[in-house]
């Protein structure tokens, strides 16, 4: 079994914010598998299903973002799984909206959900699908205060949601490739550089 976790904040007020890209990705997988992520276990809303022939548990932590690790650690323990069975999808402020990057390990880079997971698991060596949500706009020549917190917790505009929709489809495909061909193949396919558009 694989544990596939999307990071976000519970509550309707956060549903369309950049910080909830991970939740949106899990919902996308759930729709594909025709399941509802409504079973509460391990401090998360979950759904057991099969994806590409593999048994998986989809999970959206019920803790807030900065305590995501409590839920992830609880689920891994309950399921008897190791970090090698974990796939985490989350928003990445450092990448432009519409980009996707896969990694087998890495630092939190200011992401509180990632920081919490690594702290609870005692390692940074777990697989992640990083969903670019764009950098915050500039106000008077400077980035919005609190390292983009205001930007991450503000609802996205219609055009931004449309762009995010496309990258969520790629995130789902990336997870499918991880399950069918392995981590290396998925990274080779989805981490290719995208050439910038000429103006």
Residue 61 in tokens? 């932590």
Q: Which of 2, 19, 111, 130 is catalytic?
A: 19
Q: How far is CA 177 from CA 28, 42, 61, 172, in A?
A: 16, 26, 24, 9
Instruction: Give the number of other CB atoms < 10 A from CB of residue 97.
Output: 20
Of 118, 88, 107, nearest in space to 178 by CA: 88
Asked if 90 contacts 38 with a C-beta cutoff of 8 angstroms, the reply is no
Of 76, 54, 65, nearest in space to 21 by CA: 65
Q: Is 19 a catalytic residue?
A: yes
Q: How many CA atoms lie within 13 A of 108 on its CB side?
A: 17
In the block, residue with structure tokens 């992520």: 37
Of 114, 115, 93, 90, nearest in space to 102 by CA: 90
Which residues are part of the catalytic machinery? 19
């Amino acid at each position: 079994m694989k544990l596939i976790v999307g990071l976000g904040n519970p509550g309707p007020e956060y549903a369309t914010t950049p910080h909830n890209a991970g939740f949106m990705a899990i919902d996308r997988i759930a729709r594909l598998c025709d399941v509802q992520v409504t079973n509460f276990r391990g401090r998360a809303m979950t759904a057991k299903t099969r994806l590409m022939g593999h048994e998986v548990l989809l999970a959206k932590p019920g803790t807030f973002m900065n305590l995501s690790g409590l839920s992830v650690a609880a689920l891994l323990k309950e399921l008897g799984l190791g970090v090698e069975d974990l796939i985490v999808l989350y928003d990445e402020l450092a990448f432009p909206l519409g980009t996707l990057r896969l990694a087998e390990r890495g630092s939190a880079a200011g992401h509180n959900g990632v920081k919490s997971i690594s702290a609870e698991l005692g390692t940074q060596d777990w697989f992640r699908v990083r969903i670019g949500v764009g950098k915050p706009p500039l106000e008077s020549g400077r980035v919005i205060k609190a390292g983009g917190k205001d930007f991450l917790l503000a609802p996205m505009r219609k055009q931004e949601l449309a762009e995010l929709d496309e990258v969520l489809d790629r995130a789902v495909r990336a997870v499918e490739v991880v399950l069918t061909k392995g981590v290396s193949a998925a990274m080779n396919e989805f981490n290719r550089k995208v050439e910038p558009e000429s103006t």
